[in-house]
């Protein structure tokens, strides 16, 4: 019995529970829930079929599109457990085609993103920060009003930079269906 309790303490407490996967998606520029409370998003727009704008002067981030299918992981703050879990899924999933570019965008300072990437051993992801003015979040309709954080979601861009898949979760404390986004991205690789 003591061995069973010790095993539970070592194994059970050492593993983090996975965040809830949210299969719903809201429209950019609408609203999301934060722990059940509705939070409006800025009125920007982003939809399937749009060219993903990556000019620094237009979005505030210096996104370098590589002319490859790209999974864009959008998180409020990289140093929170849900954001960390979502980013680990992106960086550690072995089913992602090697020809796909991996990107994470958050409002964290670039030095915090660099520290996170190094500590988490997730250097296979390109990190971009919308910290200065929230210009990317406002333009795309993915910035929460008042809280000034990015909504949680995932995008897939084709090799021409056209948005082909969007999921912005309705409850910000839950992660998007990363497996579905990964499968979709894999289907675009030629």
**Which amino acids are annotated catalytic?**
83
> Whose CA is closest to 87, among 124, 54, 36?
124
Main-chain dihedrals φ then ψ at residue 66, nearest 5 degrees: -100, 15
Strands 37-40 and 70-74: unpaired
Collapse the DSSP code of 165 into the 3-class scheme (helix H, G, I; strand E, B; otherwise coil) and give the result.
Answer: strand
DSSP 8-state symbol, 16:
P
Residues contacting residue 28 through CB under 8 Å, at least 6 positions apart: 41, 44, 45, 46, 47, 140, 141, 142, 151, 166, 168
Q: Tokens 């399937």 belong to which residue? A: 48
């Amino acid at each position: 019995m003591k061995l069973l309790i010790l095993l539970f303490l070592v194994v059970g407490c050492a593993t983090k529970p996975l965040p809830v996967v949210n299969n719903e998606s809201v429209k950019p520029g609408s609203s999301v829930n934060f722990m059940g409370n509705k939070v409006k998003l800025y009125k920007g727009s982003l939809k399937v079929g749009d060219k993903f704008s990556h000019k620094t002067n237009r979005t505030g981030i210096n996104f370098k599109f590589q002319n490859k299918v790209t999974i864009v992981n959008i998180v409020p703050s990289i140093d929170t457990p849900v954001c960390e879990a979502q980013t680990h899924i992106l960086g550690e999933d072995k089913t992602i085609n090697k020809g796909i570019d991996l990107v994470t965008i958050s409002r964290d300072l670039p030095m915090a993103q660099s520290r996170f990437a190094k500590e988490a051993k997730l250097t296979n992801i390109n990190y971009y920060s919308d910290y200065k003015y929230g210009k990317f979040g406002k333009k795309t309709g993915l910035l929460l009003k008042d809280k000034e954080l990015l909504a949680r979601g995932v995008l897939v861009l084709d090799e021409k930079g056209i948005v082909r898949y969007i999921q912005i979760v309705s409850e910000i404390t839950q992660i998007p269906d990363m497996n579905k986004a990964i499968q979709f991205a894999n289907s675009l690789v030629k």
